[in-house]
Amino acid sequence: MLPTSINAIEAYSGANGILKKVKKGSLLIDSSTIDPAVSKELAKEVEKMGAVFMDAPVSGGVGAARSRNLTFMVGGVEDEFAAAQELLGCMGSNVVYCGAVGTGQAAKICNNMLLAISMIGTAEAMNLGIRLGLDPKLLAKILNMSSGRCWSSDTYNPVPGVMDGVPSANNYQGGFGATLMAKDLGLAQDSATNTKSPILLGSLAHQIYRMMCAKGYSKKDFSSVFQFLREEETF
Amino acid sequence: MLPTSINAIEAYSGANGILKKVKKGSLLIDSSTIDPAVSKELAKEVEKMGAVFMDAPVSGGVGAARSRNLTFMVGGVEDEFAAAQELLGCMGSNVVYCGAVGTGQAAKICNNMLLAISMIGTAEAMNLGIRLGLDPKLLAKILNMSSGRCWSSDTYNPVPGVMDGVPSANNYQGGFGATLMAKDLGLAQDSATNTKSPILLGSLAHQIYRMMCAKGYSKKDFSSVFQFLREEETF
Amino acid sequence: MLPTSINAIEAYSGANGILKKVKKGSLLIDSSTIDPAVSKELAKEVEKMGAVFMDAPVSGGVGAARSRNLTFMVGGVEDEFAAAQELLGCMGSNVVYCGAVGTGQAAKICNNMLLAISMIGTAEAMNLGIRLGLDPKLLAKILNMSSGRCWSSDTYNPVPGVMDGVPSANNYQGGFGATLMAKDLGLAQDSATNTKSPILLGSLAHQIYRMMCAKGYSKKDFSSVFQFLREEETF
Amino acid sequence: MLPTSINAIEAYSGANGILKKVKKGSLLIDSSTIDPAVSKELAKEVEKMGAVFMDAPVSGGVGAARSRNLTFMVGGVEDEFAAAQELLGCMGSNVVYCGAVGTGQAAKICNNMLLAISMIGTAEAMNLGIRLGLDPKLLAKILNMSSGRCWSSDTYNPVPGVMDGVPSANNYQGGFGATLMAKDLGLAQDSATNTKSPILLGSLAHQIYRMMCAKGYSKKDFSSVFQFLREEETF
């Protein structure tokens, strides 16, 4: 599980890389969140060595890892999925087969892009509602029983005081850092450019997290976008 | 229940308007979705006549109306809410007190802005995933068990073939038209400008629905944004 | 010359407003930058009193005012333009007839929206180029001899050190404040919503200035958007 | 002069690529518009062979090529620039030294990103103004004497009927196709992601050209964004 596409390429194709020594018939599972195009490239190289490569990016944080509750999204040859599932099942309660190599990454990237959009949307809606005179807890309750409901509003609300046990209740410490979200949105952006898919909101969400990182929010949980938008005009 | 702020002002303050004849002690409930600033203005005028004004915009479509399952979001003097609830309860299963006059509108506007953002986000994520090789039903399933989950993905999925009984299963007929969504986003935009609240995604969502209306989608359900984004490059 | 639509309405229609006392045949020229729909409304009221109303918003700062170099964009009945021109010519070197009442506002709003977009675009392009290793002065020179050329790049460059005598050379003091730009973009937004015109970049520019105002830039010149985008990631 | 980064890599590093046979001391000039990071990579490989690589993307269309009026933006070792200039000067009247390898690309990409932003901004401002009742020629004249002035408004106006001899006067035929603009914006996007530079408007401009390509505008001149935004709501 490596931080970037470049690291993964180096680990496989570098001077002392896995490809130099891998035995035929080995099953190689990469849980990095990287560009699906890179996963496909690595799979080709691994296949030339007579081994098998699967991409299996992971979802869920430190807590989920401790309690074996991670989610793995797996891409690769379907015949090999059972073997991967056996191993990954030790760490994760959800091991989902997504299709050909690269689709594990694709599923992860699409989910996180939608997550970023919903989170910023929730932050904007909550902030607007508060300025229009609504009580934040009441507004969250209304959204959650209506069509605005989403994971960011009902499970991970970004407004301090609305929920307990989430980063917004703890000064946005812990959780999933804005930097990591910016990175995943960069991957979504690259994949969208490569496939010529329009992502108007996804692309703007990317830029918003990019700005947040440059303005002191890089290590705060990504739900701190509420705080970022919240600051008041002072004139 | 009138279509625009201008219609509501005319109905109250026009030459033959309600304000000319309203009796002292009357309870006036307006279920239009309009600018909360207008609701506040009307409430002041009504109060001068010795009557009471409440804003109570409604959520839910024709089906919900038939089965008395509408949601009413009510703003106004708290003492009068019981009276409003008695009446509105005949049509709606959820009658929620939101606070002072105008907060009913505020709740409705914030919900619909978040809905528009989540719907476009779902459409972008589903489209990107499909282009990256994922099966739409599988991708929807993964999103719905992950942090990308939202009403637009799990209850009203915009991709044909993923769910039954929703507008995307019926060529985007019925449902909540793109024009109506554009109108509600215009209200959100106005309220955000008035309160100096930044709504980056909300504002872009507004422009996207504005474009859709100009390109033949005005009468289709608002989930047709998937189709709008989906069209393929043909070169 | 009043700051907002509300002030202008009060000045004309208020308890002690101009409309109470205006003499028949008077020429009333309003140089406020306000909603063109309000200008049209005021013109109707003034006409009922037998007088004439023209909107004539102004462009150019304190320096231009001192040297009689202001630009006036005038909307109203064409027959009355000569009279307006005679008066306004004492303060401005450019007095442009734009068409019916409200078109002076329209011209001002459209210009300032394009200005805001070009300025943010210049700031983004300069910042990206600098990060890619280009010298700012050289990049500005290249843009100015190419198709990226605009007033913001060749006359009012937002990057400190590129030009003398502009706000970017003086810590963004003086000039046209970010708050005023946010206000004008709010008017553009309202006009676009009323006429159902899509303004994707204009709308996002509005939100960017809105955010800047909330983050300490409200009194800085609007070219400080370069500084706003420039701040470095620190991790 | 090759269309994409992949083509350039193949031409240099492919099985029959330039790198297989290049003689020591050769000067290799690449006029493709590609990712500056790829130019840098190719320069390293070329240097290993004892030769010199320069990136020199070009600006100006068929007309400029015929009349030797192209602009070349050149990146590479400064000592070699005189040699490059001698050759490129036969085709271009402007040969600009931009700095180290890759800065030619950087200058081209930044210019075209600003161009795309200004063009869309001009289209939005002209469309809004027309809907507010302004004559297009008059509005263009006002913008061009004011702070909204840009190359897209004064040299290449996107509104039919405003100028002669530009694509908007010829049904958007000829000129610089929307597909090519989408490609250049994709490069800007990649460079911005790599350098963590926020490009809010640049990124949205990218998505707008992406959508246009999917909706039948791919071969029209990029100024056809006016037509794309212009279509009227019909309800």
Q: Which of A30-34, A231-235, B195-199, D75-79 has the lowest mean pLDDT?
A: A231-235
Residues A73 and A9 in one domain: yes
Confidence of residue C174 (pLDDT cuts 50, 70, 90): confident
Q: How confident is the model at residue D60 (pLDDT cuts 50, 70, 90)?
A: confident
pLDDT over threshold 60, residue B148: yes
pLDDT of residue C232: 67
State the pLDDT at residue A61.
Answer: 75
Answer yes or no: do A196 and D204 touch at CB < 8 A.
no
Residue that is last in its domain, among C76, C101, C126: C101
- CB-based contact B223:B172 (threshold 8 Å): yes
Does residue B234 register a pLDDT over 80?
Answer: no
CB-neighbour burial class of residue B11 (10 A; exposed 0-12, middle 13-18, buried 19+): middle
Average pLDDT over residues D92-110: 96
Is B224 within a domain?
Answer: yes
Looking at chain B, which residue has its C-alpha nearest residue D209?
B233
Please check the confidence at residue D64 and state whether its pLDDT lies above 90.
no
Please count the residue pairs, one from chain A and one from chain D, whose beta carbons lie less than 8 angstroms apart: 46
**Looking at residue C183, what is its pLDDT?**
95
Does D234 have pLDDT greater than 60?
no
* Structure confidence at residue C65 as a pLDDT band (50, 70, 90): confident
State ipTM: 0.94
A112 and A225 belong to one structural domain:
yes
Range of the domain at D138: 107-230
B-chain CB neighbours of A92 within 8 Å are: none
Whether D117 sits inside 8 A of C113 (CB atoms) is no
Q: How far is CA C182 from the centre of its chain?
A: 10
Do C114 and D153 count as a contact with CB atoms less than 8 A apart? yes
Q: Which of C112, C128, C203, C229 to mutate to test the interface with D (most CBs of D within 10 A)?
A: C128
Residues of chain C found within 8 Å of residue D191, distances taken between Cβ atoms: 128, 132
Q: What is the tens place of the pLDDT at every residue in D137-177?
A: 999 999 999 999 999 999 999 999 999 999 999 999 989 99
Question: pLDDT of C11-57, one tens digit each?
Answer: 999 989 999 999 999 999 999 999 999 999 999 999 999 999 999 99
Place of tokens 């078109």: C103
Active site residues of C: 108
Domain co-membership, C27 together with C84: yes
**By mean pLDDT, which of A228-232, D64-68, D183-187 is the weakest?**
A228-232
Q: What pLDDT does B174 receive?
A: 86
Residues B54, B59, B60: CA angle, nearest 5 degrees = 145
A208 vs B135, B197, B200: nearest CB = B200
Question: Are B87 and B113 contained in the same domain?
Answer: no
Residue A123 lies in a domain: yes
Tokens for C156, please give them: 């009012």
Please provide residue B215's backbone torsions phi and psi, each rounded to the nearest 5 degrees. Answer: -120, 30
The SS3 call for residue A199 is coil
Mean pLDDT value across residues C203-207: 97
Report, as residue numbers or ranges, the catalytic residues of B.
108
The confidence score (pLDDT) of residue A232 equals 66
Q: Is residue A48 a part of any domain in this protein?
A: yes
Q: What is the mean pLDDT of residues C192-196?
A: 93
Which of D53, D69, D101 is a domain's end point?
D101
Query: Which among A40, A95, A117 is the top mutation candidate for probing chain B, defined by the most B β-carbons within 10 Å of its own β-carbon?
Result: A117
Of D196, D204, D211, Cβ closest to residue A210: D196
Confidence of residue A64 (pLDDT cuts 50, 70, 90): confident
3-state secondary structure of B224: helix
Q: Which pLDDT score, from 0 to 100, does residue A174 have?
A: 86
Instruction: Find the catalytic residue in D20, D40, D44, D108.
Output: D108
| Same-domain status, C128 and C57 | no
Are D233 and B219 inside 8 Å of each other by CB? no
Q: Is C163 inside a domain boundary?
A: yes
Q: What subunits touch chain D, counting only 3 or more CB pairs under 8 A?
A: A, B, C
Distance of CA C163 to the CA centre of its chain: 22
Q: How confident is the model at residue A233 (pLDDT cuts 50, 70, 90)?
A: low
Range list of H helices, A174-224: 178-195, 200-212
Give the nearest partner residue to D231 out of B214, B229, B232, using CB atoms. Answer: B214
pLDDT above 50: residue C123: yes
Q: Cα B135 vs. chain centroid, distance in angstroms?
A: 31
pLDDT confidence bin for B61, thresholds 50/70/90: confident
Q: Whole-prediction pTM value?
A: 0.94
Q: What is the mean pLDDT of chain B?
A: 94
Burial class for A24, CB neighbours closer than 10 Å (0-12, 13-18, 19+): exposed
Residues 6+ apart with CB under 8 A from B20: none
Count the domains in chain A: 2
Residue A173 to residue A167: CA distance in whole angstroms = 6
Instruction: Inspect the interface and report whether the beta carbons of D200 and A214 lie closer than 8 Å.
Output: no
| One domain for residues A112 and A81 | no
Shortest distance, CA B84 to any CA of chain D (angstroms): 35
Identify the chains in contact with C, defined as 3+ C-beta pairs within 8 A. A, B, D
One domain for residues D143 and D212: yes
Look at residue B233 and tell me whether its pLDDT is greater than 60. no
CA B229/CA B231 separation, integer angstroms:
6
Residue B235: inside a domain, yes or no? no
3-class state of residue C207 by DSSP: helix
Q: Tell me whether residues D148 and C151 touch, CB distance under 8 A.
A: yes
Contact list, D205 vs chain B (CB under 8 Å): none
Structure tokens at A132: 């229009």
Q: Mind telling me how many Å the CA of B234 is from chain D's nearest CA?
A: 7
Residues in chain A closer than 8 A to B135 (CB atoms): 99
pLDDT(A235) > 60: no
Is the pLDDT at A62 greater than 80? The verdict is no
- Is A234's CB within 8 Å of C216's CB? yes
* Touching subunits for chain B (3+ Cβ pairs under 8 A): A, C, D
Q: Which residues in chain D have Cβ-Cβ distances shorter than 8 Å to C127?
A: 197-198
Q: Amino acid identity, residue D18?
A: I
Query: What is the tens place of the pLDDT at every residue in A115-166?
Result: 999 999 999 999 999 999 999 999 999 999 999 999 999 999 999 999 999 9
Structure confidence at residue B150 (pLDDT): 97
Between CA C92 and CA D144 the distance in angstroms is 17
Distance of CA B34 to CAs A121, B108, D133, Å?
A: 21, 10, 27
Domain end, chosen from B101, B126, B153, is at B101
Tell me if A110 and B134 make a contact (CB, 8 A cut-off): yes
The answer to whether residue C94 sits within a structural domain is yes
- Per-residue model confidence as pLDDT tens digits over B205-222: 999 999 999 888 999 999
CATH code for position D138: 1.10.1040.10
What tokens does D229 get? Answer: 């935004």
Summarised one tens digit per residue, pLDDT across range C136-150 is 999 999 999 999 999
- Residue A40's CATH number: 3.40.50.720
Cα of D218 to nearest chain B Cα, Å: 7
- pLDDT surpasses 60 at C235: no
Subunits that touch chain A (at least 3 Cβ pairs < 8 angstroms)? B, C, D
Token pair belonging to A193: 């450019």
Q: Which of A190, A196, A204 has the CB atom closest to D210's CB atom?
A: A196
Whether residue C204 sits in one domain with residue C111: yes
Whether residues B77 and B9 fall in one domain: yes
CB pair distance less than 8 Å for A146 and B98: no
Residues A10 and A97 grouped into a single domain: yes
Q: Confirm whether D161 is domain-assigned.
A: yes
Residues A75 and A179 occupy one common structural domain:
no
Region B78-87 average pLDDT:
96
DSSP assignment of B33-63:
---HHHHHHHHHHHHHTT-EEEE--EES-HH
Answer whether residue A235 is part of any domain. no
Task: State the count of interchain CB pairs (< 8 A) between A and C.
Answer: 28
> Token pair for residue D74?
């050149």
Structure token pair of residue A7: 């690291």
A53-67, B133-147, D12-26: range with lowest mean pLDDT: A53-67
A40, A108, A215, A220: which one is catalytic? A108
> From C199, which residue of chain B is nearest by alpha-carbon distance?
B207
Query: Contacts of residue B204 in chain D, CB cutoff 8 Å?
Result: 204
Interchain contact, A134 vs B106, CB within 8 Å: yes
B59: which chain A residues are within 8 Å (Cβ-Cβ)? 146-147
Is the Cβ–Cβ distance between D123 and C114 less than 8 Å? no
Chain D CB contacts of A34 below 8 Å: none
Same-domain pairing of A188 and A83: no
CB contact under 8 A, A196 and D214: yes
